[in-house]
Amino acid sequence: MSVTRRTLLAAALLSTVAFTPAFAQDFDAAASIRIGSLYEPQNLDNTAGAGQGINEAFNGNVYEALFQLTDAGSVEPKLVESHDVSEDGLTHTFKLKPGVSFHSGDPLTAADVKYSIERVTAEASKSSRKRSLSTITAIDTPDDATVVITLSARSVSLPYNLSYVWIVNDAAADITATEDGTGPYTLGEWRRGSALALAKFDGYWGEAPTNAEVVYTYFTDATALNNALLTNAVDVITSVQSPDSLAQFAGNPAYTVTEGASTTKELLAWNDRVAPFDNVKVRKALAKATDKARLLNAIWGDYGTLIGSFVPPTDPWYVDLTAVDAYDLEAAKALLAEAGYADGFEFTLDTPDYDPHPIVAQFLQAEYAKVGVTVNINIITANEWYEKIYKAQDFQATLQEHVNHRDIVFYGNPDFYWGYNNPDVVKLIADSESAASEAEQVEKLTEANKLIAEDAASNWLYLYPQIVVSAANVTGYPVNGLNSQFFAYGIKKTN
Amino acid sequence: MLTYLLRRLVILILSLFLAAVVLFVLLRLLPGDPANALLGVGATAEQIEAARAQIGSDQPLIVQFGSFIGNLARFDLGASFVSRAGVLEEIGNRMSVTLPLTIIGFLLAIAIALPLGIVAAVKSHRWYGAAISIVSQLGIAIPVFWLGILLVTVFAINLRIFPSGGFPLKGWANFGEAATAMVLPALTVALVIAASLIRYVRAATLDVLGSDYIRTARVLGASFPEALVRHGIRNGAVPVVSILGIELATTFLGAVVVEKVYALPGLGSMLLLAIQQRDYPNVQGVLFISTLLVLLIGFAADLLQRFIDPRLRGRRSEP
């Protein structure tokens, strides 16, 4: 590689034509990167029910936050220069980076930050992260470059939670169809149902993107998306959801297949409030009666990971807990007998009607028959799931994929749909938030994670793989895509 | 003629009103609240209530119905719950894909079906006449999406002649790309529609061939092609035009499936997504405009029939 480059450079220097810059880089800075995705944003505002697609297209690309959740899972300062916390942990002072301006040309000020945080906590906000900012009692702006946030209780995750809060120009009113952020790209053309283009922002305060334009092209059908990559209509697929289609890319030198760490967990959630799932022995027995390795292989082949808990490896409190209730049919039968279900029992599994849930349900039906437990599969729509399971909590067991990063905190809420209530866990999770340091937070959540796993609060089947497929001449894209983010500014294309 | 037109217009408006009522009722019978689509796991009870209040799904049905019909009368289709975009405006954008697809597909279908149908009738005793009939039967049995996948595999993935799907970001402003993007979808629509049209054209032609006026024309010295062109086509066209009206409506609705296969941002993909999300304004808007178009097509076909066949002009219309 280096020899070739040196040779080319020498050739360029020898020639009188001034195209040295083109050869000095090993990528095309004027390239347009075409990204294929299944997640079309429904509007352009992440507090207005736009769906995960808006995070994919806009987080870090069009909008930036005070902090950024990197693709590796760490939280780094983005628009803040410094962050000081008072002794009691209740007052956070942020100094903003100088020289940052919005795409409209307005400079970034403390008032914009206050406005942006209040947008997320507002009554009409549909942000799923609204609750995590509920400890904020006041936001003060002593000068244009300083924001002081006062909390009602310590919140060690504040920087992390702020990584969700887009910093929007306070002069921008409705941003459902337009934008005014500080990121390296501005919104270009947008055609609903089809594609959304981002153009490089020349006034960007940070390092310039390695491409000139990014076009997110949306598909509703995974096969159509794969065909687009096969016919060179897109350069990258953000997240392959049909394992069968990987065969046509893997092993073909024209494509690169990368497997990153996702945060999407396939979960068999018991309703821990109702019999027999209020009995920890029953839950443990069924966890032991599930051959998860075989299930994962049946669905994803060689991809995906077993984690034995709700915590993916990119969360700081991850520990491998697959050994806690490892596959063991005899132990499962013994536990069922101890719980008074030697002859098994029958339950209804509410199964969302889309992949992979119906297949998983059938697998579980066959598995649990081996220990005398009968599974009645009840297929429901996504809407019914939300009504019946999430809102009314009227169910015995259900399947669901949980996509968020750092969502173990759901187990600290006894009112959550699965109804898990262990006072020790509730306390550990509450205390972890008011921890004095991140180390202490990690320690407490690791402890909570172990307790939850010991209780077999739910049956954590597997962690989805995060598979990105690209044309071989395209590099530099994020491989993990945490929280559906897909930073485009480092993507390089060679001709 | 004027009374006829007026009568048809009244029927049209009544049909539209009925369609609107049926639409409204059917949609509300579907389980699920549109607020659900706006919120994900992690939403609080207060957020759910706030979302319902914002989009009005917490109002009594009769209030929702009243404002729906009231807005409709002013041709105001409202704004999407989810995207917040104006429904009519969005339908306009989507029509720029669906209408060309329907029209090109339909014209292509006629271009295929007319000559083949006539040949199949005139040469019904030859092997190729029979072959056309058999192939068209087969064509009717093929599902649209399967044909779409087949065409993509052959022309996009293997031969690399046409794109496998998608539509240019700038739409028809990028004419070359937009036109290329239309080829396979339009061909898919055309082949499926042509298969059934061939049978109608063949039947109508056979009917004409056996008629007295063709025989009389031949006796009076006209050659067979002359008799067919001068007397046959106009007579045969009458039943075919009414079928064409129905088929055009079918083509329009069939475009929904084709748009999905080819990832086209048309009315079909808008409707499918809106149904999933219980986005009532979008679903109502798309279905209402589609109904309007189908009724208008029927109206136009009826007028055209009267224009072709003077015998129909004196008759009262059949709604």
The pLDDT tens digits for A146-168 are 999 999 999 999 999 999 899 99
Q: Which residue has the higher pLDDT, B133 or B41?
A: B133
pLDDT at A351: 95
Give the confidence band of B300 by pLDDT, cuts at 50, 70, 90: confident
CA-only gyration radius of chain A, Å: 25
pLDDT at B7: 87
Backbone angles phi, psi at A213, to 5 degrees: -155, 150
Sign of the torsion angle spanned by Cα atoms A327, A331, A335, A337: positive
Q: Which member of A43, A227, A228 has the closest CB to residue B82?
A: A43
Q: Which member of A194, A220, A387 has the closest CB to residue B260?
A: A220
Residue B1 tokens, joined? 């003629």
Indicate yes or no: CB of B171 within 8 angstroms of CB of A124.
no
Which residues, numbered 243 to 282 in chain B, qualify as contacts with chain A under a Cβ-Cβ cut-off of 8 Å?
Answer: 260-266, 269-270, 272-273, 276-278
Nearest CA in chain B to A37: B263
B202 with B119, same domain: the answer is yes
Residue A491 tokens, joined? 């993507």
Q: Which member of A43, A124, A177 has the closest CB to residue B54?
A: A124
CB A38 within 8 A of CB A220: yes
Checking if the pLDDT of A310 tops 50, the result is yes
Domain borders along chain A are 3-47+51-57+183-260+467-493, 63-162, 265-463
Region of residue A232 (phi > 0: left; psi between -120 and 50: alpha; otherwise: beta)? left
One DSSP character per residue, A414-467 reads TTSTT----HHHHHHHHHHHT-SSHHHHHHHHHHHHHHHHHTT-SEEEEEEEEE
Q: Which member of A43, A218, A233 has the closest CB to residue B164?
A: A233
Checking if the pLDDT of A7 tops 50, the result is no
Indicate yes or no: CB of B82 within 8 angstroms of CB of A42.
yes
B197 with B294, same domain: the answer is yes
Tokens 């505002």, located at residue: A45
Which residues, numbered 169 to 198 in chain B, qualify as contacts with chain A under a Cβ-Cβ cut-off of 8 Å?
Answer: 169-171
Indicate yes or no: CB of B51 within 8 angstroms of CB of A126.
yes
Could you tell me which residues are beta bridge partners of residue A191?
A: A195
Residue A444 tokens, joined? 């407490």
CB B180 within 8 A of CB B190: no
In terms of C-beta distances under 8 Å and separation of at least 24 residues, what long-range contacts does B138-146 make, across chains too?
B138/B195, B139/B191, B139/B192, B139/B194, B139/B195, B139/B196, B139/B198, B140/B195, B140/B196, B140/B199, B142/B192, B142/B195, B144/B188, B144/B189, B144/B192, B144/B254, B144/B257, B144/B258, B144/B261, B145/B257, B145/B258, B145/B260, B145/B261
Quote the Cα angle for B176-B182-B188, to 5°: 155
Indicate yes or no: CB of B36 within 8 angstroms of CB of A387.
yes
Indicate yes or no: CB of A191 within 8 angstroms of CB of B93.
yes
pLDDT at B42: 64
Quote the Cα angle for A279-A281-A285, to 5°: 125
Query: Would you say residue B316 lies in a domain?
Result: no
Sign of the torsion angle spanned by Cα atoms A441, A444, A448, A454: positive
- A76 contacts: CB under 8 Å, gap ≥ 6: A67, A68, A70
CB A224 within 8 A of CB A246: no
Could you tell me which residues are beta bridge partners of residue A493?
A: A474
Pairing type for strands A32-37 and A236-237 reads parallel
User: Which residues does chain A have within 8 Å of residue B41's beta carbon, measured at their own beta carbons?
Assistant: 128, 390, 400, 402, 404
CATH number of the domain at B124, please. 1.10.3720.10
CATH class of this structure's domain A63-162: alpha beta
User: Which residues does chain A have within 8 Å of residue B182's beta carbon, measured at their own beta carbons?
Assistant: none
Indicate yes or no: CB of B263 within 8 angstroms of CB of A390.
no
CB A373 within 8 A of CB A347: yes
Q: Nearest 10 degrees: CA dihedral of A481, A485, A490, A493?
A: 70
CATH architecture label of A3-47+51-57+183-260+467-493: 3-Layer(aba) Sandwich (3.40)
Q: Which residue has the higher pLDDT, A325 or A386?
A: A325
B43 with B108, same domain: the answer is no
Quote the Cα angle for A469-A266-A242, to 5°: 30
CA separation for the pair A185, A214 (Å, rounded): 9
B95 with B56, same domain: the answer is no
Domain of B63?
Answer: 2-73
pLDDT at A302: 86
Indicate yes or no: CB of B47 within 8 angstroms of CB of A42.
no
Q: How far is B305 from chain A (nearest CA, A)?
A: 38
Task: Return the CATH number of the domain spanning residue range A265-463.
Answer: 3.10.105.10
B12 with B139, same domain: the answer is no
Query: Would you say residue B295 lies in a domain?
Result: yes
CA separation for the pair A204, B18 (Å, rounded): 56
Give the confidence band of B45 by pLDDT, cuts at 50, 70, 90: confident
CA separation for the pair B119, B206 (Å, rounded): 10
Q: Which member of B40, B46, B166 has the closest CB to residue A233?
A: B166
Query: Would you say residue B190 lies in a domain?
Result: yes
Pairing type for strands A32-37 and A213-218 reads parallel
Which tens digit of pLDDT belongs to each residue from A168-225?
A: 999 998 899 999 999 999 999 999 888 999 999 999 999 999 999 999 999 988 888 9
pLDDT at A151: 96
User: Which residues does chain A have within 8 Å of residue B43's beta carbon, measured at their own beta carbons?
Assistant: 126, 128
**Where are the alpha helices (H) located in B262-279, listed in sequence order?**
267-276
B49 with B106, same domain: the answer is no
Indicate yes or no: CB of A391 within 8 angstroms of CB of B85.
no
Q: Which member of A43, A128, A391 has the closest CB to residue B84?
A: A43
Indicate yes or no: CB of A383 within 8 angstroms of CB of B47.
no
Query: Would you say residue B84 lies in a domain?
Result: no
Tokens 């109502």, located at residue: B284
Q: Nearest 10 degrees: CA dihedral of B310, B313, B318, B319?
A: 110
Q: Which member of B163, B169, B276 has the closest CB to residue A191?
A: B169
Query: Would you say residue B7 lies in a domain?
Result: yes
CB A449 within 8 A of CB A408: yes
Indicate yes or no: CB of A128 within 8 angstroms of CB of B269.
no
Query: Would you say residue B245 lies in a domain?
Result: yes
CA separation for the pair A144, A111 (Å, rounded): 7
pLDDT at A335: 96
CB-based burial of residue A356 (10 Å sphere; 0-12 exposed, 13-18 middle, 19+ buried)? buried
Query: Would you say residue B291 lies in a domain?
Result: yes
Nearest CA in chain B to A40: B273
Q: Which residue has the higher pLDDT, A458 or B287?
A: A458
- A239 contacts: CB under 8 Å, gap ≥ 6: A37, A38, A39, A466, A467, A468, A481
Best residue of A46, A191, A353, A409 to probe chain B, by most B CBs closer than 10 Å: A191
Sign of the torsion angle spanned by Cα atoms B36, B41, B46, B47: negative
pLDDT at A23: 45
Tokens 């809407």, located at residue: A383
Residue A171 burial (CB count, 10 A): 12
Nearest Cα to Cα of residue B36 among B55, B14, B17: B55
Sign of the torsion angle spanned by Cα atoms B58, B61, B67, B73: positive
Best residue of B169, B172, B257, B267 to probe chain A, by most A CBs closer than 10 Å: B169
Q: How far is A330 from chain B (nearest CA, A)?
A: 36
Residue A298 tokens, joined? 């049946």
Average pLDDT over every residue of A8-37: 62
**Where are the alpha helices (H) located in B30-86, listed in sequence order?**
34-38, 45-55, 61-73
Nearest CA in chain A to B48: A126
Indicate yes or no: CB of A189 within 8 angstroms of CB of B265.
no
Tokens 């491409």, located at residue: A211
pLDDT at B315: 60
Q: Which member of B33, B51, B167 has the closest CB to residue A387?
A: B33
Indicate yes or no: CB of B261 within 8 angstroms of CB of A189.
no
Indicate yes or no: CB of A192 within 8 angstroms of CB of B40.
no
B208 with B245, same domain: the answer is yes
Average pLDDT over every residue of A292-297: 95
Residue A389 has what DSSP assignment?
I
State whether residue B31 sits within 8 Å of chain A by CB.
Answer: yes
Q: Which member of B42, B51, B157 has the closest CB to residue A227?
A: B157
Which tens digit of pLDDT belongs to each residue from A356-402?
A: 899 999 999 999 999 999 999 999 988 788 888 988 899 999 999 99
Amino acid found at B27: L
B46 with B153, same domain: the answer is no
B8 with B129, same domain: the answer is no
Average pLDDT over every residue of B257-283: 87
Residue A133 CA to chain centroid, in angstroms?
18
Q: How far is B17 from chain A (nearest CA, A)?
A: 29
pLDDT at B24: 86
Q: Which residue has the higher pLDDT, B100 or B123?
A: B100
Start-to-end CA distance of chain B, whole Å, equals: 15
Extended strands (E) in A86-124:
91-96
CA separation for the pair A484, A403 (Å, rounded): 8
State whether residue B22 sits within 8 Å of chain A by CB.
Answer: no
| Number of domains into which chain B is organized | 2
CA separation for the pair A405, A311 (Å, rounded): 8
B240 with B148, same domain: the answer is yes
Indicate yes or no: CB of A192 within 8 angstroms of CB of B278.
no
Average pLDDT over every residue of A8-14: 38
Tokens 């997640």, located at residue: A39
Indicate yes or no: CB of B276 within 8 angstroms of CB of A382.
yes
CB A53 within 8 A of CB A482: no
- Please count the residue pairs, one from chain A and one from chain B, whose beta carbons lie less than 8 angstroms apart: 135
B264 with B150, same domain: the answer is yes
Backbone angles phi, psi at A403, to 5 degrees: -95, -20
State whether residue B86 sits within 8 Å of chain A by CB.
Answer: no
pTM over 0.80: yes
User: Which residues does chain B have within 8 Å of residue A387's beta carbon, measured at their own beta carbons?
Assistant: 31-33, 36
pLDDT at A266: 95
CA distance to A84, A341, B99, B252, per residue, from B104 (Å): 65, 66, 8, 11
Q: Which member of B37, B44, B263 has the closest CB to residue A224?
A: B263
Q: Calculate the average pLDDT of chain A.
A: 90
CB-based burial of residue A92 (10 Å sphere; 0-12 exposed, 13-18 middle, 19+ buried)? buried
